[in-house]
Amino acid sequence: MSLVIDDAAIQIEHTLPNRSRLVKTLFVGVVLWLLPFVGLIAWRGYSSLHVEEYKFFTVSALVTFGGAYAVLAYVTQAVTTSPYNWITPAQAVDGLALAETTPGHLIMVLQFVGFMAGWNNPPDGMSPLASGIVGALITTCHDVLPSFLFIFLGAHTSKGFVAMSLSMELSQA
């Protein structure tokens, strides 16, 4: 019995791509993306720090590519200068040093940035720790959510594209 599934294997019905699954996946992804945003607006107001973090890190997840160093350059430039001024350049370097010395993905330095933004600028009625934790959760969730959504949307539909298969094979070599 072969444990490898090749392209000639018979596909089971529920594994075939279809428009219904695509629409459901898109709907769930958009709800997961927007529900916390609406909740934050209702809780803290549209111009609050955490809503601004939500918007900024969602945009950074959508417009940046090239790995953690490229993303970190974009994020550091934005969050250490006006209009945000959430963290200092020294804190950004500390975050990179922390990310380099710990196991896991380097991109998680953004979680540190989100935490420090909340810690340095707690909204009225929140402690720095609580604000930092909310900032870290927002940053983590909305740094990876767009990527997962794009993967779930494109995984089944891209299976039959020969050019895509070839490029994926070459990129793994």
| 90 domain-assigned | yes
| 41 domain-assigned | yes
Q: Which residue has the tokens 């900024």?
A: 56
How many domains, the chain?
1
* Per-residue pLDDT tens over the stretch 85-125: 999 999 999 998 988 898 878 888 899 999 999 999 999 99
Residue 136 is part of which domain span? 18-172
pLDDT at 173: 55
| 6 domain-assigned | no
- What is the pLDDT of the chain when averaged over all its residues? 86
| 7 domain-assigned | no
Supply the pTM of this predicted model.
0.80
In this prediction, residues 8-16 reach a mean pLDDT of 70
User: Does residue 147 or residue 129 have the better pLDDT?
Assistant: 129
